[in-house]
Amino acid sequence: MPLNKFTLKKNETQTIYENIKLTFLSHSHKKTYQDGPPSPLILNISYETEGLIENKEYHLNTNYELIQQQKEGWEWKDFSFFLTDYKYNEFITFEVYKK
């Protein structure tokens, strides 16, 4: 069961657990070759704990079925995050789980 579910607009910050803040900075895409794999959704996130800021970049598959099955996400420290919805460079919706 998730700790919580959040929807963040670009540059919005939310406390995700105790003193841990997460900021959704932006989305971007990586160019791929014509017959190559699909372009990943690049998610830029900032975490803040006890005044320390850590910026991270995650490459996610944008396959809608994977997102709906909660199989597309990322890990950070003791947390797992699963993308549940997004609109390119506008918002992300995700669930947070503690390992």
Is pTM, for the whole model, over 0.85? no
pLDDT: which is higher, 82 or 29:
82
d(CA 27, CA 14): 17
CB atoms within 10 A of CB 73: 20
**Over the stretch 34-84, which tens digit does the pLDDT of each residue have?**
776 667 888 999 999 999 999 999 988 876 665 666 678 899 999 999 998
